[in-house]
Each structure stands twice: as C-alpha cells, then as structure tokens.
Amino acid sequence: MQCTVEILSIGNELLLGNTVNTNASWIASQVTKLGGKVTRITTVEDNLNGISKSVKETLRRRPDFLITTGGIGPTFDDMSLKGVARALRLRIRLDKTAVEMLRAHYLRRFPNQRIPLTKPRLKMASIPATSTPIMNPVGTAPGVRLTAHATEIFCLPGVPSEAKAIFQGTVSKAIKARSKGTVFVEKWFKVLGVPESSLAPVVSAVMRRWRGVYIKSHPRGIDANGRPKIELHLSIASEKTREARLEVRRAATEIRKRLTALGAQVIS
C-alpha cells in the first residue's frame, strides 16, 4: 500500500524568499521514487506557536510520516523540536546519546582541539521526551525520530546536505518498509506544435481508458519556430511492477498516436 507523507518546512528565510526550498522538492522526489505519496508540503516561519499548530494540523490528517526540515540548530530561532514537543505535550530533555553524537562530531572535525559543549551546543542534544536521536553523518545537529499515534515523525536539519544524508541513511528505509513493495513508474516526453487547450481532451480520453495512469501536462513556452512546447508526464504507483510498466507504456503509445494525428511532434 502506498504510504502518505507530509513535509513541514520551517524557516523565515523560506518565506522571505531568501532561500529556495530545495529540501522539500528533493524529499518529495525521493518519497515518490520509494513508492510513497507526498500529500502536502507546508512552510511556516520560525515561530513556536506556528510550528506547534502546523504539527497538530498534520497529525489530525494522520499521514504515515511527517518530515520536518530546519530549525534544529544552536541559535535562538531554532525551535522546531520545541514546537513538535509542544504539539505532543512532551517535555524537552537533554539526551545522553545525542550528547555523545555531538562529542563524536567535534572530535572528528577538530581532532587536535577540545571543543567545550556550551549551552548553545547542548541545545542541539535537547530533544522531545520519547524521541530518539539520529546520527548526522555530515553535520552537527542530530536528526530526531518519534511516533505520535499512527504517524512517524522525522525532524531533519535545514542544511540540504545534512537533510539528504539523514534521509538516505534512515528515513528512506522507514518509508520503503511502510510502502511494502509499492513502485513508482513514470515516463516523460515532449510535445511540439499543439497548444495545451487541444491537448487537454486527449489527456482526459487516455486517462479514462487507463485509469491507473496519471497524466500531467507542463507548458514550456514556444520553440524557435513559434510552436507551443509541452512536457507530458505519465505515472502510476502500484505493487505490481510489471503491470504498472505495461500500463504506462500502453497509455504512452495511445497518447502518442492521438497527438500525432493532431499534427504534433512527439519526442521521447
């Protein structure tokens, strides 16, 4: 069965437009490849009440996973873990395992120095009760994992390289296990010479025949000859890999024939 995932991106810089939210798009693409389905992506500011409220709202929808990014560092505005804890009515505690992860990180990074665990540094080892820390292989702040009712929560750093490392090392395994063999099959091709308004009835007809296949059109402007450019994306999520590939292939063949009959140029 396809598991559901929500992503909660936390950070003023995302809402100010100073930082592009590459974490959300990358995580969404990985979840999709693993057979999961991202049902919502939410962005909130570094605000304790806002984070807590967003977590509560997500949990009411009962997704299989909630993945947060950002706000688990040492500065005053890093308050994601407090927000999660408030939403779940948990206290924040200094975790011994997380402290050892910090020590190990500083030892690897500064082998000839003794880096004191100051209050801001220990803040990164203070996590919600009942949660467990996740080793951050490329950065300082550990990730955090906990469960709330039917939803498993992962809190990741906002630094893209760190979020990716923890996702690949831990989160991906949990999603793959929950997906139970669901695969995602997709196919892209380009269409030249037909406007999207003419393409729409063709897409609807093909989707009615191949009901498991989702077809999305993406207008890309016009080419050098003034012809409309559109990218078509066909996809399906299924536990039956062979059948899924066959359905996408057949749907692609049919839509290619229909578009060619309209005078379009279809490029795989």
At residue 181, the pLDDT reads 86
CATH of 183-267, one of 3.30.70.360, 3.40.50.300, 2.40.430.10, 2.40.37.10: 3.30.70.360
The DSSP call for residue 193 is S
At residue 268, the pLDDT reads 85
Nearest to 183 by CA among 233, 235, 251: 235
Domain boundaries, the chain: 4-179, 183-267
At residue 26, the pLDDT reads 98
At residue 2, the pLDDT reads 86
Nearest to 94 by CA among 109, 75, 84, 81: 81
pLDDT by 10s per residue, the chain, length 268: 789 999 999 999 999 999 999 999 999 999 999 999 999 999 999 999 999 999 999 999 999 999 999 999 999 999 999 999 999 999 999 999 999 999 999 999 999 899 999 999 999 999 999 999 999 999 999 999 999 989 999 999 999 999 999 999 999 999 999 998 899 999 999 999 999 999 999 999 999 999 999 999 999 999 999 999 999 999 999 999 999 999 999 999 999 999 999 999 999 8
At residue 180, the pLDDT reads 85
Report the CATH number of the 4-179 domain: 3.40.980.10
Q: Look at phi and psi of residue 211 and say left if phi exceeds 0, alpha if psi is from -120 to 50, else beta.
A: alpha
Whether the Cβ atoms of residue 51 and residue 43 lie closer than 8 Å to each other? no
* pTM of the entire predicted model: 0.93
Domains 4-179 and 183-267 fall in the same CATH topology: no
